[in-house]
């Protein structure tokens, strides 16, 4: 993970604001320049959406949110920043003028990315004094959730800049893919445009309406593309005979009658009206804010689903999310603050996720144990046990749990877990968690016995772990024992 600490966002519509939000959530201080009067409102709205999405996306310890400031000039925004992202409207002269100013006032070693959807980096960098550090870094909306960035260098861009850009975007959880040769619209928008053109013909000619077309994507091939794209999917379609067989079988189709739909349809009022009214019908009364919320929740859920892909190793965008989280954990470990062991520990906070709700509208029972287990993991990391030590053969396993459900938790509720160590001695770790709501409501308690296992057998943990645990246990020994500890199911109070 490359550490950058300061970034500038020049142009803050939905795309620029999305960059600002993703960077701030990765702990980077961001300075925004955009003379538009609604800039602060737009950035605030996008940041609110992004914050909401990230609270559901990961329980890894996000760094303190970076500061988002607003500058009055490009000079003020870009001076002394590590990375500058330009996202002004798609007009060559405008972008060139803005990039020239950025180039003039930024440190010569600052990375400059342009969010352009289609202009050539060679055309953008031509008047710059340090054109070698200019790339196109083209993201997709919503920038704070979709991890892709197309990285395109121009004739004057250095190879080192491409490498550095990949590292910088990886540091904010993104996948930068270099495009080998610059062409207008690069790769992503070429693909989108080709299908968009075809779709417009289908609507214009009344073959189907926009809802049917979207349904064919989202109940059909969209589910394949979200995980494998097009070529890998077709590789499977080719079967054991592989790609060559697939192309031999389907290549000729390209010459069949349906390739006639390659003209560009006229965007007359009639077509615009047709699409707009069909789209209204499809939305079924859901406003843009509703659709954004649903889209973001679905993206979060799909990313999390893919994180468990390939038998837990993660797949595609979900694997990337797992790697981002591993980096966050590693960072959190390095910055552990001393603990106050004179009171129960507060190591885990989370919001009730839509996927956790049962048919009664409340958080479903096994999700309470998930929250408690995450709190246990947080404690284990504090004493020096994590995925890394587990891989090396040392970990704690839960052998016994007692849960009491005291009050229902609803969608979106903020939960905090209070953790008391009842015993931390030898191979045994005896814990008591209390799941608290924002208003102090006790939603549930969990009592847990864990056993340390090393090299496949129960045994004492390594001395540094034992010492850290003993220090907490010693502090907590002075606390009153929770009334529910030692309780069996159905035992009278």
- Which residues, numbered 308-347, are part of the site for a second copy (CB under 8 A)? 308-312, 315-317, 320
Q: Is 5 in the site for a second copy (CB under 8 A)?
A: no
Binding-site residue total for a second copy (CB under 8 A)? 160
- Smallest distance from a second copy to CB 143, Å: 11
Q: Is 367 in the site for a second copy (CB under 8 A)?
A: yes
Q: 368 vs 266, 304, 404, 408, 419, CA distance in Å? A: 56, 18, 10, 10, 14
Closer residue to a second copy, CB minimum distance, 94 or 247: 247
Residues with Cβ < 8 Å from 180, sequence gap 6 or more? Answer: none
Among 41, 218, 343, 481, binds a second copy (CB under 8 A): 218
* Beta strands at 414-425 and 457-458: parallel, antiparallel or unpaired: unpaired
Angle at which helices 365-383 and 463-476 cross, to 10°: 120
Among 61, 97, 327, 354, binds a second copy (CB under 8 A): 354
Closer residue to a second copy, CB minimum distance, 49 or 101: 49
- Smallest distance from a second copy to CB 412, Å: 9
Residues with Cβ < 8 Å from 464, sequence gap 6 or more? Answer: 384
- Smallest distance from a second copy to CB 256, Å: 7
Closer residue to a second copy, CB minimum distance, 46 or 128: 46
Whether 482 and 445 have beta carbons less than 8 Å apart is answered as: yes
- Smallest distance from a second copy to CB 488, Å: 4
Closer residue to a second copy, CB minimum distance, 208 or 479: 208
User: What is the C-alpha separation between 488 and 480, in angstroms, rounded?
Assistant: 19
Interactions with a second copy, residue window 245-304 (CB under 8 A): 247-248, 251-259, 261-265, 267, 272, 275-276, 278-280, 282-283, 288, 291-292, 294-295, 297-299, 301-304
Among 80, 94, 242, 330, binds a second copy (CB under 8 A): 242
Tokens representing 332?
Answer: 């959190």
Interactions with a second copy, residue window 103-142 (CB under 8 A): 118, 140-141
Q: Is 191 in the site for a second copy (CB under 8 A)?
A: yes
Q: Is 449 in the site for a second copy (CB under 8 A)?
A: yes
Interactions with a second copy, residue window 387-446 (CB under 8 A): 387, 390-391, 395, 397-405, 411, 423, 430
Closer residue to a second copy, CB minimum distance, 73 or 267: 267
Q: Is 351 in the site for a second copy (CB under 8 A)?
A: no
Closer residue to a second copy, CB minimum distance, 180 or 478: 180
User: What is the C-alpha separation between 366 and 403, in angstroms, rounded?
Assistant: 10
- Smallest distance from a second copy to CB 155, Å: 16
Among 122, 158, 233, 441, binds a second copy (CB under 8 A): 233
Least Cα distance to 9 among 94, 114, 92 occurs for: 114
- Smallest distance from a second copy to CB 67, Å: 27
Q: With CB under 8 A as the contact rule, which of the stretches 94-102, 342-350, 413-421, 481-489 interacts with a second copy? A: 481-489
* Beta strands at 414-425 and 428-437: parallel, antiparallel or unpaired: antiparallel
Which x/- pattern over 146-185 shows residues binding a second copy (rule: CB under 8 A)?
Answer: xxx-x------------------------x-xxxxx-xxx
Residues with Cβ < 8 Å from 465, sequence gap 6 or more? Answer: 383, 384, 385, 394, 452
Closer residue to a second copy, CB minimum distance, 103 or 377: 377
Which pairs from 183-187 meet CB under 8 Å and 24+ separation?
A: 183/120, 184/118, 184/119, 184/120, 185/117, 185/118, 186/118, 186/136, 186/138, 186/150, 186/152, 187/150
Q: How many angstroms separate the first and last alpha carbons of the chain?
A: 52
Q: With CB under 8 A as the contact rule, which of the stretches 65-73, 107-115, 212-220, 464-472 interacts with a second copy? A: 212-220
Using DSSP's 3-state secondary structure scheme, residue 190 falls into helix
User: What is the C-alpha separation between 376 and 452, in angstroms, rounded?
Assistant: 13
Interactions with a second copy, residue window 18-77 (CB under 8 A): none
Q: Could you please report the per-residue DSSP string of 99-118? A: HHHHHHHS-TT-EEEE--SS
User: What is the C-alpha separation between 131 and 126, in angstroms, rounded?
Assistant: 7
Using DSSP's 3-state secondary structure scheme, residue 434 falls into strand
Among 35, 109, 129, 244, binds a second copy (CB under 8 A): 244
- Smallest distance from a second copy to CB 147, Å: 5
């Amino acid at each position: 993970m490359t550490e950058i600490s300061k970034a500038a966002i020049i142009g803050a519509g939905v795309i620029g604001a999305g960059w600002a939000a993703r960077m701030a959530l990765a702990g980077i201080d961001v300075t925004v320049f955009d003379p538009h009067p609604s800039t602060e409102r737009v950035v605030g709205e996008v940041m609110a959406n992004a914050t909401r999405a990230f609270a559901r996306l990961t329980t890894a310890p996000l760094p303190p949110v970076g500061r988002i400031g607003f500058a009055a000039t490009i000079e003020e925004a870009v001076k002394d920043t590590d990375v500058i992202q330009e996202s002004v409207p798609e007009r060559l002269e405008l972008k060139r003028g803005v990039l020239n100013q950025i180039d003039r006032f930024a440190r010569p070693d600052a990375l400059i990315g342009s969010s352009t959807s289609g202009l050539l980096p060679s055309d953008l960098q031509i008047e710059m004094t340090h054109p070698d550090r200019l790339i196109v870094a083209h993201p997709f909306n919503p920038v704070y959730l979709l991890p892709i960035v197309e990285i395109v260098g121009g004739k004057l861009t250095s190879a080192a800049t491409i490498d550095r850009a990949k590292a910088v975007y990886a540091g904010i959880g993104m996948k930068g893919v270099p495009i080998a040769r610059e062409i207008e619209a690069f790769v992503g928008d070429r693909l989108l445009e080709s299908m968009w053109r075809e779709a417009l013909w289908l609507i214009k000619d009344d073959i189907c309406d926009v809802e049917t077309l979207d349904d064919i994507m989202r109940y059909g091939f969209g589910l394949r593309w979200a995980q494998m794209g097009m070529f890998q999917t077709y590789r499977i379609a080719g079967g054991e005979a592989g790609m060559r067989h697939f192309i031999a079988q389907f290549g000729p189709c390209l010459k069949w009658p349906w390739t006639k739909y390659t003209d560009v349809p006229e965007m007359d009022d009639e077509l615009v009206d047709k699409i707009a009214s069909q789209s209204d019908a499809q939305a079924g009364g859901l406003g843009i804010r509703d659709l954004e919320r649903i889209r973001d929740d679905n993206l979060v859920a799909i990313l999390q689903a893919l994180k468990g892909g390939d038998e837990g190793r993660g797949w595609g965008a979900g694997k990337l999310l797992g790697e981002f989280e591993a980096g966050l954990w590693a960072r959190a470990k390095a910055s552990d603050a001393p603990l106050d062991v004179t009171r129960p520990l507060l190591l885990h906070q989370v919001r009730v996720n839509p996927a956790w709700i049962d048919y009664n509208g409340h958080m479903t029972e096994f999700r309470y144990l998930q929250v408690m287990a995450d709190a246990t993991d947080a404690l284990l990391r504090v004493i020096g046990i994590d995925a890394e030590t587990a891989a090396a053969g040392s970990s704690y396993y839960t052998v016994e749990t007692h849960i009491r459900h005291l009050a229902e938790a609803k969608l979106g509720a903020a939960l905090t877990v209070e953790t008391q160590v009842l015993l931390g001695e030898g191979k045994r770790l005896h814990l008591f968690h209390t799941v608290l709501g924002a208003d102090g409501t006790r939603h549930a308690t969990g009592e847990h016995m864990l056993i340390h296992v090393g090299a496949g057998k129960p045994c004492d943990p390594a001395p540094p772990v034992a010492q850290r645990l003993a220090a907490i246990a010693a502090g907590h020994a002075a606390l009153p024992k929770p009334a529910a500890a030692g309780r069996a199911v159905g035992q009278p109070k």
